[in-house]
Amino acid sequence: MPLSGTFNYFAVVPANFLEDRSSPWPIQLSHVVDKIGEPLHDSRLTGLSPRLTIADGGPTPNPSASRPAVLRSRFTLTASKKENSTVSSAAFYVDKDLTGIFEPGDRLYMGRTGCGGLGISLLRNDRLVFAVGAISCLPLGNDVRAGVPSGLVKEAETTFKKVDPDFRFRELPLQISLGGHPRIIFRGWERLGSYEIWVEHGFFPGIPGVDVCAAISLNGSCGSVAASAQLLNDGELEITRW
């Protein structure tokens, strides 16, 4: 996927969020775009300075084991102008319980990767409160790091190929580090220090590949965040085109 189909935004939770949850928030890019005059490079999905609206998203339609039956919040990103915007708006859903823990001044990060993976994270005083979805594309605070341990995977594949030259991992694990202490997880629940971790699946290599789907939350900060990760897992967006 070209850069014009991705985004990496952040917003500061407004001071009046607890009283007025319907007003749109201003959003900024997490990284400066070095423009080269090419729309596929210079644009982002909903532009360089969209606005975010969080509204009631109703219950999950057609729930299943991979789409939990929860009440949802609908996040709508709306472009402020057509220039450098691929679409007019894009919306996705998370568990409504997640938005209930927002506090004024928190930093909310939202990302869509080149594989189409969606993720959001919330930081409070530079400490991670939660991250869900494609978490390896998101800021995770001062102490937490997440990503695919590519070097270790390559070493392991080299060992297996001594027996089977065609061997390759069809799914790559997620490595999460807290204060420099790593944990490598394919699937399931783990506890690491003051965080709970849940991994739906690792990264599936391919063109473009499938991003990890995971959730991590600070103990006691919120209920289960796995549902929100599952809602983001398929990367589905409700798009309004220009």
Q: Tell me how far CA of residue 88 lies from CA of 5, 83, 93, in angstroms.
A: 12, 10, 18
Determine the average pLDDT of the residues in 3-23. 88
Give the up-direction half-sphere exposure of residue 5: CA atoms within 13 A in the CB hemisphere. 12
Mind spelling out the 3-state secondary structure of 77-138?
EECCCCCCECCCEEEEEEEHHHHCCCCCCCEEEEEECCCCCEEEEEEECCEEEEEEECHHHC
**Residue pLDDT, tens place only, 91-110:** 999 999 999 899 999 999 99
**Residue pLDDT, tens place only, 181-225:** 999 999 999 999 999 999 999 999 999 899 999 999 999 877 779
pLDDT interval class at 23 (50, 70, 90):
confident
**Residue pLDDT, tens place only, 79-88:** 999 999 999 9
Torsion of CA 180, 99, 59, 225, to 10 degrees: 20
CB 185 within 8 A of CB 169: no
